[in-house]
Structure 1
């Protein structure tokens, strides 16, 4: 588990801002499961899910950058949660899968020309001698607006996307698992995005950002 405790270029758990964030969140808690739960909810709800504004660069995907921005999408929020876990001494890694997303917006679907999200990211904590999935992507406010159930995390059971929304409609489907990684596999994701979303030219330029006008929370709907 040693490698899953070490800081990396993206999971910069030694960053002072990350350390201060973790200390504030966990307070006096010393139990790893309780700490992981607190960190999960702090990242899930304290950082809005925003696929309208993505800085897919080595700097933009660092945990400390996400912390400073106050928002991210599934991958960058998973990186932040992984850094928080390592900062408190919990072995943590990243997992990825292609998912068919039924929570989107007309703007995003038009831009993507697809409802499949390549390399959706989540976090895994090693707690009580097993790996437990934690998906901090969708904040509660977004879930309430889109009428889907927010994902809960109890430190014992996998927290993965619900198959159906609150009305019983299809919500999320996992298609392809890409496995687990000790650091963000930036180049692999870059190559997948370039293949699957060639129209997102801004994602593939150095220091460029992908932007869509408006707020995803206001436009999102489960369908």
Structure 2
């Protein structure tokens, strides 16, 4: 699109881009990058790897979907991670919006599939739509590099020129991710619609998110270094809610 609406640079209820933690995270991740392309690449990588992907951290508390809270928690599922990436892009002056799609994830733990009622369909999978040099690109920062290694899939990389979506297959050719329905793009998080769809599809999954699950998704290092250099301990799914 030739003209970018100013709304894709603004703060919102969930994209609290003026919060000190969000600004600090963005500035530290960007470092000495001078172009929007390089800034977007560094922001994507920081969000992907500095926030652990935790599919059990689904919450119905609106406060837990703000970008600043995602940084505080240090772990999140795809929707809050997309919120964070969108927020830090806007904080850096790069237009960004939230995008959603339904996907089939063919790589699941038994515990996660059971929590989801036996389905491999993930509704309202979140990603960021980032405007780099006039071109809107899709970028999903959900799976951190360490988690990808555990499941034998390469991490999604963003080059600032092409869409960065989940890989269709693993390294050995096993089917991984299949995009089945586009939910569109939004200026801010449509949380009410997302929670309604999650409850309709998975039943009590949202309300059970405080229950600890010990599988490949739930494990994480004891400590993790944030982009600002601070070290913090791991959080239980209940703490991340």
**Normalization by structure 1: what TM-score?**
0.92
1:160 aligns with 2:165: yes
Asked whether 1:61 is paired with 2:65, we answer yes
Q: Distance in 1 between matches of 2:105 and 2:162?
A: 22
C-alpha distance in 1 between matches for 2:17 and 2:218: 32
What is the deviation of 1:199? Answer: 2.8
Per the alignment, residue 92 of structure 1 pairs with 96
**Aligned: 1:213 with 2:207:** no
Q: How does 1:8-157 map to 2 (within 5 A)?
A: 8-113=12-117, 114-157=119-162
SS of the residue aligned with 1:3?
A: helix
RMSD: 1.4
Identify unmatched segments of 5+ residues in structure 1. 204-208
Tell which deviates more after alignment, 17-26 or 47-56.
47-56
Distance 2:202 2:210 in 1: 12
SS of the residue corresponding to residue 59 of structure 1 reads helix
Structure 1 distance, partners of 2:77, 2:15, is 15
Q: CA deviation at 1:129?
A: 1.2
> What residue in structure 1 maps to residue 180 of structure 2?
175
The reply to whether residue 186 of structure 1 matches residue 191 of structure 2 is yes
C-alpha separation between the residues in 1 aligned to 2:129 and 2:17?
15
Give a deviation string over 1:180-221, Cα, whole Å, max 9, x none.
000000011011011101132516xxxxx54332254368xx
Tell me whether 72-81 or 101-110 shows the greater mean CA deviation.
101-110
What do residues 77-109 of structure 1 show as CA deviations (whole Å, max 9, x unaligned)?
000000000000000001000000112211010
Distance 1:39 1:48 in 2: 15
Q: Between Structure 1 and Structure 2, how many residues are aligned? A: 214
Structure 1 residue 111: Cα displacement: 1.2
User: SS at 1:38's partner residue?
Assistant: helix
Tell me if structure 2 keeps the 8 A contact 1:19–1:87: yes
TM-score, scaled relative to structure 2 = 0.85
**Residues of 2 paired with 1:38 and 1:194: CA distance?**
35
Structure 1 residues 9-38: Cα deviation after superposition (integer angstroms, max 9, x where no partner): 011111111001111111122211100000
For the residues of structure 2 that align with 1:141 and 1:148, how far apart are their CA atoms?
Answer: 10
